[in-house]
Amino acid sequence: MITASPPTAPPPTATAPPGRNPLALAFALARRRPALLLLNSLVWLVVHSSPVLYGLFMKGIFDALSGQATASYSPWTFLALALSIDVLRIGTLAGGVYVWATYWAELVSMMRRNLLGYLLTAPGSRRLPDSPSEAISRFRDDVNDVGEYIEHWVDFWGFALFAVIALAVMFRVDPLMTALICVPLGLTLVLSNALRPHIRRVRRAMREATGRVTDFVGETFNAVQAVQGAGREDAVVCEFERLNVVRRRTALSDALLAELFKSVNDNMVNIATGVILLLGAGAMQRGAFTVGDFALFVTFLPRLTSTISYLGAMMVQHKRTGVAFDRLTTLLGDVGPEVIVADADLHLRGDPPSFVEVRPARRALERLRVVGLRSRHTDGAPALGDVSFELHRGSFTVVTGRVGSGKSTLVRVLMGLLPREAGEVWWNDTLVEDPASWFVPPRSAYTSQVPRLFSDTLRENVTMGRDADDGELDAVIRLAVMERDLEMLHRGLDTEVGSRGVRLSGGQVQRSAAARMFMRGADLLVFDDLSSALDVETERQLWEGLFERHAGRSVTCLVVSHRRAALERADQVLVMDGGRIVASGTLEEVVAASPEMAELWGDARAEGDEAHVPAAPALVAR
């Protein structure tokens, strides 16, 4: 049987946290795979520094051909050596691409694993700072920025070695000319440093604009039917165009800075070449500069310029990586960036360990006590204010109220899906410190107001990877009142439900989510307006089946609803208004005590009468 322990959040490294400096963070990440780091550094050291030999052999060829300097070998020997260096460099480059791709894949996969692992398993409640689509862009683009920064450092040593040797050789040939050539190259670094603040600002703006476009695309796909029903296709297209105009402008600014560096560097090559031509001609006339020396300078110069260009790009990437780490840390919310670069075993070599599910110990619910629960919306406005109530084992409690009264917020804060500002939650005599990790099966199961299904079969959406026999599946399907639906689906439980259950009706999606919850076998069942897309008769069958199944084992239900079938079964009704409980008790008591509840109950009875539901027996406290 496949069991799983939820992946634990990656622990911080044993060493001191590296801080927020991009260089320290990148180094902490890079040294997670020291063997691959060393291999990459050595391979690319050879690739980037070997052109030094090529320049020296070119000098030998032209000196031998011109006879201006004593050559130890013939031109053909130097040519053969130059070609050999090229062949060696090409072979090393091919191997370097392979080892770098391996190293890159491990680094970016490790970062993404750490991000996802922390978001899924870290204690406490958290909200994403932006939409899920924007979070995906951070997983993709910002993680890639960090990987590119490490790539710059892997290349750095080869470029640096080439520059040091090349400048030393050139200085021995002609110190003045070498010094003059370095002037325009140094200007590139000065320009890079001057533009660094703009680079960081433009890169952040570009990332944010891209995130808004990604977010809008995701939201549009989710609301296609609503857009079509409202006839607002043109308005959606106009808004999409507006967002893309902003994104295009910011992307253009970002690309303009990159092209500015490239243009400056290219022109520096031309300036330096001009210096060589002007000074070299006079030196050759004096016999102080050979044709081979000229070939050496011209061979080294483009590579030196590329090295300076590379250093400028590295400075740019340093700023971009700072932005990337800031955005990724904001995504995590309550921890520092050391979590992102923590070590993790990806099991890329060999079979991964078996997926072992570790459930918390079952602690039978006798009483759930909520005291002074408070919460706020993201804008700081109060969402819940001093909410207190109790649930007893085997009870059926309904939370009701007008739209926007705080019903869904209450259950989401209780379950740890939204952060709480104050208050206590007691499970029997145990204070629940972290509701998000406590209210999970087998203690509790939850179905949201808008259930989410995966793009998989109905069977997988119900079992969620559990091994379940046909008898267990049949039981939860009957309990969710889905027998007739399965008969209509062309492949029954093996029917693909499509993206977010698009091939199912709203009621089928809700009942599929209910079946998934029933499969968990939890003591406390929390329904957030489960019946909103169900007809009255189906809802009545669902509640009757639930109590019939658990006749021998008390199950406790907390139900957000305004429907008659749920209210009539309630032992306790909590009436909410403005984020507070304004009335509580049996249905008869709250109808008598609360004018708002009396109106809600009148609407619920009218809805039930219209559906021809037989009148329920007299209300008694269950």
SS (H, E, C) 90-121: HHHHHHHHHHHHHHHHHHHHHHHHHHHHHHHH
pLDDT at 551: 55
Are residues 564 and 536 in contact, defined by beta-carbon separation less than 8 angstroms? yes
CATH code of 602's domain = 3.40.50.300
pLDDT in tens, 233-273: 888 889 889 999 998 998 888 888 777 766 766 676 677 66
**What value does the mean pLDDT take over residues 260-288?**
71
pTM above 0.85, yes or no: no
Q: Closest Cα to residue 263, out of 201, 222, 305? A: 305
Contact 103, 37 (CB under 8 A): yes
Residue, of 308 and 394, whose pLDDT is higher: 394
| Range of weakest confidence among 68-77, 232-241, 434-443 | 68-77
**Are 365 and 550 contacting, i.e. CB atoms less than 8 angstroms apart?**
no
Answer yes or no: do 335 and 371 share one domain.
Answer: no
Cα–Cα distance for residue pair 613/244, rounded to 1 Å: 53
Q: Assess whether 439 and 551 both reside in one domain.
A: yes
Same domain, 272 and 180: yes
Residue 504 forms part of a structural domain: no
pLDDT of residue 330: 87
Residue 126 lies in a domain: yes
Token pair of 590, please? 């709250």
Tell me how far apart the alpha carbons of residues 184 and 195 are, in angstroms, rounded to a whole number. Answer: 17
Query: In this predicted structure, what is the pLDDT of residue 397?
Result: 94
Q: Which residues contact 134 (CB under 8 A, 6 or more apart)?
A: 128, 211, 212, 214, 215
Q: Say if 36 falls within a structural domain.
A: yes
Same domain, 59 and 191: yes
- 274, 372: one domain: no
Domain assignment present for 573: yes
Separation between Cα atoms, residue 122 and residue 229, nearest integer Å: 40
Same-domain status, 378 and 306:
no
User: Which residues make Cβ contacts (< 8 Å) with residue 128, sequence separation at least 6?
Assistant: 134, 135, 331
DSSP state of 494: G
- pLDDT tens digits, residue range 458-478? 888 888 877 777 788 888 888
Query: Do 289 and 405 share a domain, yes or no?
Result: no
User: What integer is the mean pLDDT of 213-239?
Assistant: 80
308: three-class secondary structure by DSSP: helix
Cβ distance 139 to 115 under 8 Å? yes
Q: What is the pLDDT of the chain when averaged over all its residues?
A: 82
CATH number of the domain bearing residue 132: 1.20.1560.10
pLDDT band at 70 (very low <50, low <70, confident <90, very high): low
Peptide bond into 6 cis (omega under 30): no
pLDDT the model gives residue 606: 66
> In which domain, by residue range, is 594 found?
367-443+522-610
> Does residue 292 share a domain with residue 143?
yes
Q: Looking at residues 389-400, what average pLDDT do you find?
A: 93
Q: Work out how many domains the chain is built from and give that number.
A: 2
Phi-psi region of 384 (alpha: psi -120 to 50; beta: other; left: phi over 0): beta
